[in-house]
Amino acid sequence: MRTKVITEDIEKIVAEFEQDLKKLEGKTVLITGGNGLIPSYIVDTLALFNGKLDNPIKVIVMGKNPANPDSRLGHLLNDSNVLFITQDVGKPFDVVGSPNIILHAASRANPTAFLEDPIDTIDANVNATKVFLDYAKNNKIDNFLFFSSAEIYGNPIKEFLPTPEEYAGNAGPLDKYACYTESKRFCETLCANYWKKYNIPVKMLRILLTYGPGIRNDGKAVSDFFDRGMRERVITLRDAGEAKRSFCYVSDTVRALFKVMFYGNSGEAYNLGHDSPGENITIRQLAELIAKAIGSDVSVKPNFDAPKRQIYGEDNRWVKIDKLRKLGFEPKVAIVEGLQRTKRDYDEKKL
């Protein structure tokens, strides 16, 4: 379903990148994990832009679950330029459709899913990425974007906040979430070496905490807080909520992605996020902002009695985007506006 607020976001993206998107005329774009938050915005952007082209962009949407009318992209099931393929990239598969551009976004992307099946998490990252890189080695392609994560930095030491791409990270291979972070790190190594050896035009996106319309209730903070606040009218925190995070509204993430896609350097990694100090907030502040966006009767209940966790480094996710700025990017949507737009999306879907 594409709500009004999503359509507003997509129309602004199309207007900003119209000249760049024209370069995709007649091309085939393969997007994995297509029903996810960020990929679905990309698919909607390309589908909407096709109305401006004589020779449309062909979009192949690869997803783990079958598309249906109730899916996030269900409104495109009858679009002749969009092909939906059901495929779990954690299992063996072949690349279909002779794509010119590959956007590999499919991955288990929340801690609950990591712990449910850590081996599948690794396979969907490592094995699938190698399949696409081998395809790109044997078939000339124009562009390849690998969706990595800013989680690869782990808990940075204070001197590296906000965190630049040069930071090696502070994460352990035996951590319970390492199936995700370490497989993403290895995928970046794969991508960099395929670029060096085979000149694959691959770019790595270290994406940080994207939220917005279409977000699924998958246990992440934003969706979990909205769900609890709207159902229970109280947002209960597991602890005091002192950890800090920087969140990025989905249209800004997609705008940043297009900047890297069209102007970034192959073989390099780019942080994608919101680096304003005012946007680096505690989890408790996030909960309070979401409560305010939902309604004045919603409260936040921290758990001040929760035992303190042993943290090596800073429990903070906040990336530096200087490399992205050099490509002409600047975030536009602050957290307060982004949460209000997300609430509008919830309300519209209920209606």
Say if residue 217's pLDDT is above 90.
no
CA distance 220 to 111: 8
CA distances from 92 to 126, 132, 188 (A): 12, 12, 21
Instruction: Tell me the one-letter amino acid at 15.
Output: A
Instruction: Tell me the one-letter amino acid at 84.
Output: F
Contact 236, 301 (CB under 8 A): yes
**pTM for the full model?**
0.97
pLDDT for the residue 147 = 98
Three-state secondary structure along 87-136? Answer: CCCCCCCCCCCCCCEEEECCCCCCHHHHHHCHHHHHHHHHHHHHHHHHHH
Find, among 189, 58, 33, the residue nearest to 110 by Cα: 33
Q: What angle do CA 224, 227, 233 make, to 5 degrees?
A: 115
Find, among 345, 317, 332, 326, the residue nearest to 154 by Cα: 317
Q: Is 243 helix (H, G, I), strand (E, B) or coil?
A: coil
Residue extents of the structural domains in the chain: 4-211+248-274+313-332
CA distance 61 to 99: 11
Q: Where are the beta strands (DSSP E) in 161-233?
A: 202-207, 210-211
Contact 209, 317 (CB under 8 A): yes
How remote is the C-alpha of 213 from its chain's centroid? 13
Say if residue 295's pLDDT is above 80.
yes
- Percentage of the chain lying above the pLDDT 70 cut: 100
Name the token pair of 156. Answer: 């940075």
Confidence of residue 351 (pLDDT cuts 50, 70, 90): low
- Residue bearing the bigger pLDDT, 286 or 124: 286
Say if residue 312's pLDDT is above 60.
yes
CA distance 206 to 204: 6
CA distance 279 to 100: 37
Which of 12-21, 27-36, 270-279, 307-316 has the weakest average pLDDT?
A: 307-316
Q: Is 58 helix (H, G, I), strand (E, B) or coil?
A: strand
Confidence of residue 350 (pLDDT cuts 50, 70, 90): confident
pLDDT for the residue 243 = 96
Name the token pair of 102. Answer: 């590959």
pLDDT for the residue 68 = 92
Find, among 272, 106, 274, the residue nearest to 187 by Cα: 106
Q: Across the strands, what pairs with 147? A: 205
CA distance 335 to 249: 7
Kindly state the greatest CA–CA separation across the chain. Answer: 62
Q: Which helix (H) or strand (E) holds 47?
A: helix 37-49
pLDDT for the residue 216 = 85
Contact 228, 300 (CB under 8 A): no
Name the token pair of 323. Answer: 């490399």
The fold for domain 4-211+248-274+313-332 equals Rossmann fold (3.40.50)
pLDDT digits 0-9 by tens, 100-156: 999 999 987 777 777 788 998 899 899 999 999 999 999 999 999 999 999 999 999
CA distance 89 to 100: 19
Q: Across the strands, what pairs with 207? A: 149, 272
Say if residue 26's pLDDT is above 60.
yes
Find, among 272, 246, 277, the residue nearest to 259 by Cα: 272
Close Cβ partners of 66 (under 8 Å, ≥ 6 residues apart): 84, 86
Say if residue 331's pLDDT is above 60.
yes
